[in-house]
Amino acid sequence: MSFKKIFIFIALSMAIGFFGCAKEKVEAPKQKRITKNLIPPKTEIMGTNFLIEVSDLEVITIEDITSKEIVETPNLRGRIKITNKSKDMMDIQAITVEFFDEAGKTIDFDSGEKIAKATLYSTVIKPEGATEGSLDVTIPRKAIKGKALAKMEINLVYIPSPLNRETVTFPEKVE
């Protein structure tokens, strides 16, 4: 008789466990990731001491599926290649990015947005040498939301013989 009780107890425990776990709901995702390419996708600009090539530029946003609102600060990602065109060694420190509208005014970040406008480097480039890396910064929601982005300014912070800083401006649009 005790065998029957043990067997019934085990069978009931398994049935309760099986049917109790089977009722869990799986929710549909509430957000989606959207990738938009910048036009032009590849640009190259010659500075006084360097050549910068920027390619594969894309903006990545996370939007709420129902409201279509951007819920996180968008990211700008791409590839960057810097070629030293001077006769001296060039110590690359960082690359910073600023965003401008059609009127030439800076597009600022709203409060609460994550701000990461620089990509740090620590590399030395010999004359006629080059270095490649990735560009990963945040971009203000306003630049994406109303397609206000007209141009992007990349500041290359480097140390040649004396300390120097140059700015290069790229025309860009979000499509």
pLDDT digits (tens, 9 = 90+) for 67-108: 888 889 999 999 999 999 988 888 888 888 999 988 889 999
Enter the pTM of the model.
Answer: 0.71
Starting from the edge strand earliest in sequence, which strands make up the sheet with 118-125, in order?
Answer: 118-125, 90-100, 151-159, 164-171
Cβ atoms of 52 and 81 within 8 Å: the answer is yes
Token pair for 102: 């059609």
pLDDT for 15 beyond 70: no
Query: Which residues are paired to 137 by β-bridges?
Result: 76
- Calculate the alpha carbon distances from 39 to 44, 61, 152 in Å: 13, 17, 11
pLDDT for 162 beyond 60: no
Nearest to residue 160, comparing CAs of 89, 94, 81, 84? 89
Reported confidence tier of residue 22, pLDDT bands at 50, 70, 90: low
Token pair for 46: 């010659």
**Amino acid type, 143:** A
Angle at 33 between CA 150 and CA 146, to 5 degrees: 30
Cα 174 → chain centroid: 14
Nearest to residue 78, comparing CAs of 54, 46, 97? 54
Mean pLDDT of 134-142: 91
Reported confidence tier of residue 53, pLDDT bands at 50, 70, 90: very high
Whether domain 27-174 has CATH 2.60.40: yes
* The dihedral sign for the CA sequence 51, 118, 32, 171: negative
Burial label for 48, CB within 10 Å (0-12, 13-18, 19+), is: exposed
pLDDT for 17 beyond 80: no
Nearest to residue 99, comparing CAs of 170, 165, 11, 158? 170
* The dihedral sign for the CA sequence 10, 16, 19, 20: negative
